[in-house]
Structure 1
Amino acid sequence: MRRVLASITLLMACTGALHAQGKGIRLWNLTTATISGFQLSPVGKNEWGPDQTSNDKDKEVDHDERLRITGVEPGRYDAKVSYRDARQCIVRNLEIKADAVFSIADKDLEDCKK
């Protein structure tokens, strides 16, 4: 009986820890194209982090798809967004919150270059 109670207690503790972790930070692609690269930098620094599309199974983020963002603390960031046609755009001053979804849309894209 003690083993059963100990097992139940351990299971409940593990379940609670997983629930507390939440879903993490996620990007919601509301642009009209598939994103092939996505990097973040603290606002105004141009210190681009790793390509977050590597977190996706097909390494791209389709329209209306969400992408899990890793290794990033909540705060304000600029984003470099790359597309299949070699176009790169910047999204400035994104607010990223813990365990929340942030989105980008075509209207957010600036400084697009091929």
Structure 2
Amino acid sequence: MQTLATAFAVLTLLLSLPAHAADIDVENQSSWEIHEIYFSPSDEENWGEDHLGEHVLESGMTLSLTGVTPGEWDIRLVDEDEDVCVLQGVTVSASETWLIEDDDLVDCQAATEE
């Protein structure tokens, strides 16, 4: 009986802990190089740092971000032609891979221009 009580106590403790940080892989499957990637919590005004810095996310490459706090995020991408794509309110709840594909990037850029 002690083992069951201990297991229940551990389970209760685990459920009360905050959500674990996520690892996000951003994979560029588009025809364009991505030159800038910014992330900002949706409730903030500033974009913060460019996660690529001096690097470029070429077609076929992946950017790995670790320790991302679960929640709502806005994402800003800038491609080689300086076209901008802004995604708002992207939910991060677990580790996952995000694919950047041609159609999605073009549609996002068109929506961002409006």
TM-score by length of 1: 0.59
- Answer with 93-102 or 60-69: which moved more: 93-102
Q: Judging changes above 3 Å, is the alpha-carbon distance between structure 1 residues 33 and 97 closer, same or farther for their aligned structure 2 residues?
A: farther
Q: Judging changes above 3 Å, is the alpha-carbon distance between structure 1 residues 103 and 44 closer, same or farther for their aligned structure 2 residues?
A: farther
Give distance in 2, aligned partners of 1:45 and 1:81: 17
* Superposition CA RMSD, Å: 2.7
The equivalent residue for 1:61 is 57
The equivalent residue for 1:96 is 92
Question: What secondary structure, in the 3-state scheme, does the structure 2 residue paired with 1:111 have?
Answer: helix
Question: What secondary structure, in the 3-state scheme, does the structure 2 residue paired with 1:33 have?
Answer: coil
Contact persistence 1:90–1:112 (CA under 8 A): no
Contact persistence 1:25–1:99 (CA under 8 A): yes
Instruction: Give unpaired runs (5+ residues) of structure 1.
Output: 1-22
Contact persistence 1:96–1:102 (CA under 8 A): no
Contact persistence 1:53–1:60 (CA under 8 A): yes
The equivalent residue for 1:17 is none
TM-score by length of 2: 0.59
Q: Judging changes above 3 Å, is the alpha-carbon distance between structure 1 residues 88 and 35 closer, same or farther for their aligned structure 2 residues?
A: same
Deviation at 1:70, TM superposition (A): 4.4
Give distance in 2, aligned partners of 1:103 and 1:46: 25
Deviation at 1:48, TM superposition (A): 0.7
Q: Judging changes above 3 Å, is the alpha-carbon distance between structure 1 residues 45 and 111 closer, same or farther for their aligned structure 2 residues?
A: same
Q: What fraction of aligned residue pairs are identical, expressed as a percent? A: 22
Q: Judging changes above 3 Å, is the alpha-carbon distance between structure 1 residues 78 and 112 closer, same or farther for their aligned structure 2 residues?
A: same
Deviation at 1:51, TM superposition (A): 0.9
Give distance in 2, aligned partners of 1:101 and 1:44: 23
Contact persistence 2:40–2:73 (CA under 8 A): yes
Question: What secondary structure, in the 3-state scheme, does the structure 2 residue paired with 1:38 have?
Answer: strand
Q: Judging changes above 3 Å, is the alpha-carbon distance between structure 1 residues 91 and 49 closer, same or farther for their aligned structure 2 residues?
A: same
Question: What secondary structure, in the 3-state scheme, does the structure 1 residue paired with 2:52 have?
Answer: helix
Give distance in 1, aligned partners of 2:40 and 2:57: 19
